Structure 1
Amino acid sequence: MEKYITFIKNAWENFIYDDIINEQVRNEILESWIRCKKYNVNPMGGKGKNKHSNIKELIDKNRELIKIAKPVMESVYKIVEGSSFAMILADKDGYILEVIGDEDIMDRVNELNFLKGELWSEKEVGTNAIGTALYLKKPIQTIGAEHFGISQHSWTCSASPIYDEDKEIIGCINMSGNYYDAHSHTLGIVTSAAESIQKQFALSRSYNLLNITFNSISDGMIVIDSDSNIKRINGRALEVLNLTLDDVMNLEIKNLITNIDFKALLKGDKKEIYNIESDFKIKNDKIKCIVNAVPMNVNNKNIGMVITFKETKHIHKLVSKLAGFKASYTFDDIITENKNMKNMIVLAKKSAKSDCNVLIEGESGTGKELLAQSIHNYSDRRNKPFVAVNCASIPRELVESELFGYEKGAFTGAAKEGHAGKFELADGGTIFLDEIGELPLDMQSKLLRVLDNGKIIRVGGTFEKQLDVRVIGATNRILKKEVNRKNFRNDLYYRLSVMNIKTIPLRQRKEDIGLLVNYFTKKLSIKKGTEVKKINKDYVEKLKDNYWEGNVRELRNVVERDFYLSEKNILVSYEVENTCKKEEKTFENVVAIKTLEKEAIEKAIIQSNGNMVQAANLLQIGRSTLYRKVKKYNIAYKI
């Protein structure tokens, strides 16, 4: 990414100052730059301008789009919350309608005039994701100096137009953040969000324009009269609530849903409500649903109400799709000729066909997540979510809410409507708990309870929700030793390791090194768009002499380095590691920096009694950086 940032910055400067066109710049950006010069856009600018003369009128004109788009924006934002990204909605002309983002990014958003009513067309501010996507009528991502205005050079933006059912553009959704966080997946998330908004928009229009056959919609529907009596209910509603028609006709709506004041809605005190999370209380059970309630108004009088709802788990499936909760790898992606590896794959396939918990143990870089994804895709859950969680990267105080979610008002700073945890998002599928050996002991006991009965309770909640989730754990620690050291619960270990799979270090399968080198070389050649590089005849033999502490991950990095350093079409070895080893022998009294860093981290954690926030402050580094280095050096931080 740094190489590309430098390239595009140089190309931009040559174009702006010397009118030099670099044809290696992708066509969409280059053509946009040329248009911007014709528009006389100031390249030293790049901030929003020409605020709409009547923002209230602008919002009213796009009220339906905002109402539909905002819940989708909020769902996506919950997934990326804390990663310094902002979600932005614009109308068909490029006027900003809605902005959602982290506090730190919102300060930068304000500096660029990414504000309601500001115009972000290409003609006004130059090449930018919103304006250029609207001009091209297709999704686009802009990174760094691809933006025409210099004020945006520290940004990456991904935008997708939103169409109505007549294929006319009605708006644009955008995700913006720091340019060094640029990722192709971001554009995919935004495109999926735009598609979701389009579907919801089309459905909304259909509700307004057509008298849809009552039982043809996928949502549950209940119609009540002005006295709150249930008059009609569709088949989907009966299915979700697990009731018969006779059951429902003897129930009152206020006893089914308690957190909505239907009387106030019918009186006209409130117009309508959308996307309210509610519990349908059915006998001794609760069914979480997202509810809409719209009064039926005839001659300025409410004669009843239409209540539509869908199970929360269906919303979670949409969130999972937008967030990329999907397993990409299969057993076919595991490259090996090693007998022990093939035996491991046979065991993993048998594990996949069961529904048992699986524990994968092995060194870093041996493909534990690849194996977990393969197990998921080989199982009957292959079409359901695969949610991966790195237990070592979650701050200790947030582990429970991250895994099990929280109810509204559960703690200071909690989202007012509550938040679903990773287990809920994985319902029906698989949750992959990577670095499970790093879980605090108190969370281990709570996880054990979930494994025993399949139920979770959100933080601040009292209701147990039954889930259907398969758990795959992974660790680079030897958990049996951690059990003996009292760092890991013995009962949890045995509950997890119903199926125990141990990955094989690369040094014990060196016959696979040649296969892996060929595979990585082909992938890199395809990525670069060049002929596949030939491999020097002694290259693989040199690699086989290495200990490969970082296993396949380290091998991939070495091959990638050598690929780009080899100027000819032959892959040759560069003696970087060997040179370092010689230098270490020459200067035996010099302590390696990584050794000093590891010791400093260990001392800080001990002095802070395991409080990672205090330890990070002592070391004068960020908390996320501290967690990353703890993982890198395999440091135990439980005190």
Structure 2
Amino acid sequence: MLKMKDILTPMHQCLSPDNTLLEAVELMKKLRIHTIPVTDATRRLVGVFTRSSLYSMVLQEKPLDTPIGPFMKREVETLPEDMSPDQLERNTEITKVGTGIVVNRNEQLIGVITQSHVVSSLLQTTRSLKEQLEEIIDTSKLGAIMTDEKRQIIFVNRKFCEMVGYKDSEILYKDLADVIPNFHLAEMEKTDHHRMKIGIYHAVANLSRYRTIKGDEGFIVLFQDISDVEKMAQELQTVLKWKSIVQTVINNVYDGLVMINESKAITFISPSLLELFELKEREVLHKSVDDILPELGLSKIIKTGISDISDMMEVKGIRYAVHRIPIYQRDEVIGAIGKIAFRGLDEMKELFRRFETSQTRNGQGESDKTKFAHFTFEQIMTSDKQMEKLIRSACKAAKGQSTILIRGESGTGKELFAHAIHSASSRKNGPFVTVNCAAIPEHLLESEFFGYEEGAFTGANRKGKIGKFDLANGGTLFLDEVGDMSFPLQAKLLRVLQGREFFRVGGTERIQVDVRIIAATHRPLEKMVQNGEFREDLYYRLNVFSFQIPPLRNRKSDILLLSESFILELNRLNGTAITGIDPDAQATMLDYEWPGNVRELRNVLERAMIFAEHGKIKREDLPDYMLLETENDSTDRSTGSSLMEKAEKSAIKEAMQKTGGNKTRAAQLLGISRSVLYEKLKKYEISVRL
């Protein structure tokens, strides 16, 4: 585009009204222009002295020393220095004045501009644009022709000449139909792209129209060699094919793969790794690996440039190791690859062996595991309000020395509570001894409790044996399933609880003990007392503090919470690599009644994790009896499904409002997993921003 400064002739010397005719003629001759600006002392324009002004003074035979002031033209149109190129072009087209006077914003003279300057600059610009356009077309490898309104070719580029096999001089100003006999305008107008043969080439032609200077219609035709396009398409298909192959190889050869560049930003991560660490690709790509997966230690490889393999690590109970590999370009590290193995590949066997050995070595200090409590209240996982209240009460009761009775269905975790109570008591450094009253034959229970002296009965150990009360001295004795104890043994136990002393079987020496009793049972002791099956006085002695653990079906919010913990534990024990539970399987587990409680839940998960083939537990991995029961229940409830959905939607909205849109807290409040909550939010179209 033309700019004023590019075609302006600066005026460093001009006339004043006091200059003479001679001075004006000399300056006009020197500058070779026919219009000379006349300014005052501040270079403000007051007029112009033109060639017609000169003729007028000569015809009037004015002396050469006559001032030009009276003969100059005072009404002069000026051009602003910031005039746009379009305005300048329009002004040049319509003006009859051969010279324009250019001034700044203060009306001070800057220079002059002539029509010949403008025309010359326009021609130069046009030639430059033409050359640039031809270069662009040639670079694009397109053949190009341009016709006038008579269909005569007025422009042709090198590529088209190559396609038809002629020189440009043999093509220019010839009729389009003579150069391209199979060029049919009617067919070209039917489609944007028309296939045709140009010389030995097969090409695609694209037709455009333009207006000539006379206002008629001319054509511009661009030709694309199809062989180039097909070659590019084939190359693209090859690239896409290789990408699919490489993607498949990456997803199946390695358990997990992550790649970073020299800036430590993640450029690739495999789906299996996203699943393992519960990440989403859009949250990971182009982010710093130190922010997303610092545990992999990949960034240090950028600094060292040395491959290494990590020690065994663990996530969600799944053991894994990272093989870190630098990526070199010439001698410079431009990135790193992390190969994550967590599905028991052969090269990991030695690491697993070392890990298991270290674990075994760490556990050798416990020579008799029955003498120590292994759990605390912090390890009891729950989100149920009733369970949380129960734990708080048990913590308070643990501080005293009174007997505690733990009640609940089989598998609810009564022994876990007993361990936790001991760990929270003042006896936590003393022994914790367990006796399962239902597992020991009745004729051996007394000797198990109190021990026996040498030769007390046939088959007895020659050195005698100390009993559970002796072992628990100074600590806690946990009587599991106390409701199954025989009536005679109940009387002996009552005497120990009252007098804190006993005699060994076959012995005569009175043994003093300091033992706290924690008992547990799933049986209805009150009914047994009424039926004469359990001593009433022993019942009241045991029932100082009584805690009823609710069954799992009454605290379904704990099902998925406990499942997460069991998956971690079972991954470690069985060497599996399960990352979670599919939403359909979660729904089935939440619908099931769990008669075996927490113990059944753990067993079901262990079975399902062995059967699972996809990294997550699917619904089909669950036992058939569970699937059958939940299907029957869903059939029975189908008539009320719409009401249930309304209630479910209302509950989710309320939970989201209470938690301020925090999905994790809302899921805990509802007793479901985050993935189930996401499915429900999508199903009911509930906005997160409430």
Structure 1-normalised TM-score? 0.42
Structure 2-normalised TM-score? 0.39
